[in-house]
Amino acid sequence: RSKEELSDEEIQSVVATEAKKRREAIEAFLKGGRPELAEKEKQELDVLLLYLPEQLSGEEIRKLVKEAIAKTKAGSFKDMGKIMGVLAPQVKGKADGALVASIVKEILSS
Same domain, 42 and 62: no
CA nearest to 105, candidates 65, 60, 67, 47: 65
Q: pLDDT tens-digit profile of 16-75? A: 899 999 999 999 999 999 999 999 999 999 999 999 888 899 999 999 999 999 999 988
Give the least confident one: 26-30, 56-60, 79-83, 90-94: 90-94
Q: pLDDT tens-digit profile of 22-38? A: 999 999 999 999 999 99
Question: What pLDDT, on a 0 to 100 scale, did the predictor assign at position 2?
Answer: 60
107 vs 110: CA distance, rounded Å: 5
Question: What pLDDT, on a 0 to 100 scale, did the predictor assign at position 13?
Answer: 87
Same domain, 79 and 39: no
Full residue range of the structural domain in which residue 69 is found: 58-108
Same domain, 64 and 36: no
